[in-house]
Copies of this chain bind each other. A is one copy, B any other.
Amino acid sequence: MEHLNFLEEKILSDGTIKQGNILKIDNFLNHQIDIDIMRQIAYELKRRFRDVEVNKVLTIEASGIAIATMLGNLYDVPIVFAKKGETANSTDDKYVSQAYSFTHKQMNSVFVSKPYLHPTDRVLIVDDFLADGQAVHALIDLVHQAGGEVAGIGIAVEKGQQKGGRQLREEGYRLESIAIIDEMDWETQSIKFRR
């Protein structure tokens, strides 16, 4: 019998697979938040990045903010959440990148005010979900525009069949996902996690 970690167990016990390869876990991760699971996610990500120096945690609004807050609390470092807006250009006061939103089927701007990212920053990027990696790539771009360094990328749930995780690993980023879903089956409500 395979060993499941706390998040994989929670996904199996409380998640629902919807038709069209959709995993619904908004009862504990990104609408209602189970604080105990959130604490464990933060501790586990900090443990996995224990050899990495981090002086800032970066995420994107909205659902990444809870994980980022718990991690900022553990690391005792500032948290920054990138904002989303209509497509806009960089200005004197903000770094801007673009990300396609599959939810809204449009390009969104993702931006951070310039004073909140620095060349001296070693940034841990975190988010609740990783699928095609659009949001994470935009966050990486913002860190690089500021001249900072991406210390690592910490994800709760990675959809392993979509390209985001593979691309980020090929690009050489240190990516840690607590649960990676390689297969889901709607009819049997079964999930295969990557080992």
Which of B32, B36, B65 has a CB less than 8 Å from the CB of A66?
A: B65
This chain: copies in complex: 2
Interface residues on A, range: 20 to 34
| Docked pose: A30 CA to B32 CA in angstroms | 21
Contacts A26-B113, A33-B69, A116-B32 given; indicate if A62 touches B81 (C-beta within 8 A).
yes
| Docked pose: A115 CA to B78 CA in angstroms | 33
Which of B31, B63, B68, B116 has a CB less than 8 Å from the CB of A27?
A: B116
The 8 A-B pairs of least Cβ separation, nearest first, read: A61-B62, A62-B62, A65-B65, A33-B79, A32-B116, A69-B69, A35-B72, A66-B69
| Docked pose: A83 CA to B39 CA in angstroms | 22
Q: Does A77 contact B (CB under 8 A)?
A: yes
Chain B residues whose C-beta falls within 8 Å of the C-beta of A116 in the assembled complex: 27, 31-32
A residues at B contact (CB < 8 Å): 26-27, 31-36, 38-39, 61-63, 65-66, 68-70, 72-73, 76-81, 83, 112-113, 115-116
Which of B31, B32, B39, B83 has a CB less than 8 Å from the CB of A31?
A: B83
Query: What's the minimum C-beta distance from A75 to chain B, rounded to whole angstroms?
Result: 8
Query: What's the minimum C-beta distance from A154 to chain B, rounded to whole angstroms?
Result: 16
Which of B70, B76, B78 has a CB less than 8 Å from the CB of A69?
A: B70
Which of B32, B33, B76, B79 has a CB less than 8 Å from the CB of A32?
A: B79
A35 to B83, Cβ gap below 8 A?
Answer: no
Query: What's the minimum C-beta distance from A143 to chain B, rounded to whole angstroms?
Result: 14
Chain B residues whose C-beta falls within 8 Å of the C-beta of A70 in the assembled complex: 69, 73
